């Protein structure tokens, strides 16, 4: 029963459409009607700019982190990594935005922050280095996922290995069209780094 309650809470948290809220309240724009049409941080950066992109990134990370921390406040006997996965499901398929959400990168990172802050720092570092070299957000997200799985093996944490593997496969799946565009050299590169 505890799993069901916290899974629902995590899903609803994940379903909060940060990009949609920031776009409509701060800029009177629906990001779904611009750029890639995606309700994620990358499209927010592209459509609304740096400030909005940072706000959405932090909000999306916080959704994953909050989902993993809430059970602690209730001393609940649940595996918090599993609860975090429901926040990712909510972010990707949000009930509050017609089940069309983001690509799960920031919220996945938020789960790791709530469980292992050191691994989160290593993830962010990997992402930024990859982004600096490649200029592709999508490719950097995938590389970060793969490196995170490898680091989970180094940490010798079975739960992290399983969950980061699931998340990485999901992130690759969600970026399959981006990979095709990279191959065809039509994927947009960032220009601010």
- Mind listing the pLDDT tens digit of every residue in the chain (193 residues)? 889 999 999 999 999 999 999 999 999 999 999 988 889 899 999 999 999 999 999 999 999 999 999 999 999 989 999 999 999 999 999 999 999 999 989 999 999 999 999 999 999 999 999 999 999 999 999 999 999 999 999 999 999 999 999 999 999 999 999 999 999 999 989 887 7
Nearest one of 106, 191, 98, 115 to 151, comparing CA atoms: 115
What is the model's pLDDT at position 37?
85
What is the model's pLDDT at position 89?
97
Ramachandran area for residue 28 (φ above 0: left; ψ -120 to 50: alpha; else beta): left
How many Å apart are CA 45 and CA 40, to the nearest integer?
9
Task: For residue 129, count CB atoms less than 10 angstroms from its CB and return exposed for 0-12, middle for 13-18, buried for 19 or more.
Answer: middle
pTM for the full predicted model: 0.93
Nearest one of 175, 160, 155 to 43, comparing CA atoms: 175
């Amino acid at each position: 029963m505890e799993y069901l309650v916290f899974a629902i809470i995590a899903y609803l948290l994940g379903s909060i459409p940060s990009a949609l809220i920031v776009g409509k309240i701060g800029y009177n724009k629906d990001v779904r009607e611009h750029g890639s049409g995606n309700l994620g941080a990358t499209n927010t950066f592209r459509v609304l700019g740096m400030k909005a992109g940072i706000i959405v990134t932090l909000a999306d990370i916080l959704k994953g982190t909050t989902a993993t921390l809430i059970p602690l406040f209730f001393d609940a006997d649940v595996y918090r990594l599993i609860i975090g996965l429901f926040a990712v499901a909510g972010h990707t398929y949000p009930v509050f935005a017609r089940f069309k959400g983001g690509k799960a990168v920031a919220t996945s990172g938020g789960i790791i922050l709530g469980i292992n802050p050191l691994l989160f720092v290593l993830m962010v570092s990997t992402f930024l280095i990859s982004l600096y070299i490649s200029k592709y957000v999508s490719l950097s997200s995938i590389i970060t996922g793969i490196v995170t799985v490898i680091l989970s093996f180094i940490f010798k944490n079975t739960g992290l290995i399983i969950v980061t593997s699931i998340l990485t496969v999901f992130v690759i799946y969600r970026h399959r069209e981006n990979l095709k565009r990279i191959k065809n050299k039509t994927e947009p590169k960032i220009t601010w780094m």
